[in-house]
């Protein structure tokens, strides 16, 4: 059983930073150092935000080293048909990937093979359509509103640190602002708040500390299934990422005066010509690796069903204002589809080093 480490300086130039920036990969792993790890599975952490497989490797001197190799989040692995049973203890595995920057026995898994079998890529869809993602559904609710109840998910992104983007949209996410940060340009006050709260060397803040990352992009980030629970007087959005839960209070013409500020704010909604219009205020100040907003942040989202394509889609457009921390508005649009895997709790359990 062997470990092989190859430094390829040219690869660091060839690989776009947007590929490596996904999930802070650039901060944790060094794509210029390709490696292979061959050994026997001794443990598995099938968790979010990343699963880890632990491998006992016998070196040339006869010593046993335990490697930890990162996989995707368990929630999206399950959606792709990966199961813990694939990683049974004692299974022989061969991994190709890149080296950890901090842990001499850590790696980012790009491909893996089990017991000498075929190579499985990090983002491979082992099983699709695990359950009927388009069951017979009523077009409207019992009280006459468009029916958006159910589990919804964005199209899965297929991208690896070595292979690069293999699906439309590449690394995805909101546009990058100054310095490569995602989101809008910050005012002096916004920059000062960010400097006080975010370590500039920490490229994974807001994920590895098991906290939300950005109000808008968290809805589709990493593409786990979200759940919408629709009632006449309220609509609950249960995010598949970081277990954010928002309640949209229907039929309220204005926000109450005594809002208790939270990261997700206070949302009121109404239907307007078949479009769910959601107005959200009441935020706490927040800064992470993908987004920064102040207590004056104001978000307006519009959810509408798109029935014109082959697959039903729930389209969300959004506009955000923050006169204290932002120079301009933030706008965008995304689409989720009936999910082929049900929503499950994110239950964040960071195992990175």
Q: What is the pLDDT of residues 51-75, one digit of tens each?
A: 999 999 999 999 999 999 999 999 9
pLDDT digits (tens, 9 = 90+) for 326-335: 999 999 999 9
Residue 109: how many other CB atoms lie within 10 Å = 24
Look up tokens 């249960």; give the residue.
238
- Mean pLDDT, residues 108-132 taken together: 88
For 3-121, CATH gives 2.40.50.140
Residue 183 scores a pLDDT above 80:
no
For CA atoms 225, 213, 24, 243, the dihedral sign is: negative
Nearest to 174 by CA among 215, 203, 138: 215
User: How far is the CA of 24 from the CAs of 29, 101, 171, 299, in angstroms?
Assistant: 9, 12, 12, 26
Report the C-alpha gap between 206 and 218 in whole angstroms.
11
Q: What pTM did the predictor assign?
A: 0.85
Please state which of the ranges 131-145, 153-167, 295-309 shows the lowest mean pLDDT.
153-167
Q: What is the largest CA-CA distance in the chain?
A: 73
- pLDDT averaged over every residue in the chain: 85
pLDDT of residue 271: 97
All CATH 2.40.50.140 domain ranges of the chain, comma separated, are 3-121
pLDDT band at 172 (very low <50, low <70, confident <90, very high): very low
Residue 236 scores a pLDDT above 80:
yes
pLDDT of residue 157: 72
Residue 159: both structure tokens together? 């991208």
pLDDT band at 290 (very low <50, low <70, confident <90, very high): confident
200 CB-near residues (< 8 Å, 6+ apart): none
pLDDT of residue 2: 40
Residue 242 scores a pLDDT above 90:
yes
What is the percentage of the chain residues whose pLDDT exceeds 90? 69
pLDDT of residue 323: 97
For 170, which DSSP code? T
pLDDT of residue 291: 87
- Mean pLDDT, residues 135-144 taken together: 88
Residue 131 scores a pLDDT above 80:
no
Report the C-alpha gap between 274 and 145 in whole angstroms.
8
pLDDT band at 132 (very low <50, low <70, confident <90, very high): low
Report the C-alpha gap between 218 and 244 in whole angstroms.
9
Could you tell me which residue, 350 or 183, shows the higher pLDDT? 350
Nearest to 155 by CA among 76, 47, 74: 76
Residue 256 scores a pLDDT above 80:
yes
Report the C-alpha gap between 320 and 291 in whole angstroms.
12
pLDDT of residue 13: 30
């Amino acid at each position: 059983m062997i470990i092989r480490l190859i430094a390829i300086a040219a690869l660091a130039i060839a690989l776009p930073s947007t590929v490596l920036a996904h999930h802070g990969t650039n901060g944790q792993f060094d794509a210029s150092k390709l490696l292979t790890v061959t050994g026997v599975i001794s443990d598995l952490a099938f968790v979010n935000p990343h699963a880890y497989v632990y491998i006992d490797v016998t070196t040339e001197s006869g010593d046993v080293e335990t490697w930890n190799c990162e996989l995707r989040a368990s929630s999206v692995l399950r959606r792709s048909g990966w199961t813990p049973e694939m990683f049974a203890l004692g299974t022989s595995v061969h991994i190709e990937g890149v080296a950890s920057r901090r842990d001499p026995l850590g790696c980012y898994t790009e491909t893996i093979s089990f017991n000498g079998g075929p190579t499985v890529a990090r983002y491979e869809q082992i099983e699709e359509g695990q359950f009927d993602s388009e069951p017979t559904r009523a077009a409207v609710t019992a009280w006459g509103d468009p029916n958006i109840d159910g589990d919804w998910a964005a199209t899965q992104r297929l991208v690896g640190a070595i292979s690069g983007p293999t699906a439309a949209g590449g690394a995805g996410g909101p546009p990058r602002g100054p310095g490569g940060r995602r989101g809008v340009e910050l005012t002096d006050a916004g920059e000062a708040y960010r400097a006080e709260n975010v370590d500039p060397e920490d490229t994974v803040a807001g994920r590895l500390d098991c906290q939300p990352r950005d109000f808008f992009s968290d809805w589709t980030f990493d593409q786990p299934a979200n759940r919408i629970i629709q009632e006449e007087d309220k609509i609950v959005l249960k995010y598949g990422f970081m277990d954010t839960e928002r309640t949209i209070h229907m039929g309220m013409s204005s926000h109450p005066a005594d809002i208790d500020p939270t990261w997700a704010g206070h949302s009121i909604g109404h239907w307007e010509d078949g479009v769910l219009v959601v107005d959200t205020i009441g935020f706490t100040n927040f800064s992470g690796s993908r987004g920064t907003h102040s207590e004056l942040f104001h978000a307006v989202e519009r959810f509408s069903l798109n029935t014109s394509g082959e697959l039903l889609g729930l389209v969300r457009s959004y506009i955000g204002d923050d006169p204290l921390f932002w120079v301009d508005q933030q706008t965008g649009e995304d689409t989720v589809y009936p999910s082929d895997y049900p929503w499950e709790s994110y239950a964040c359990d960071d195992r990175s080093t």
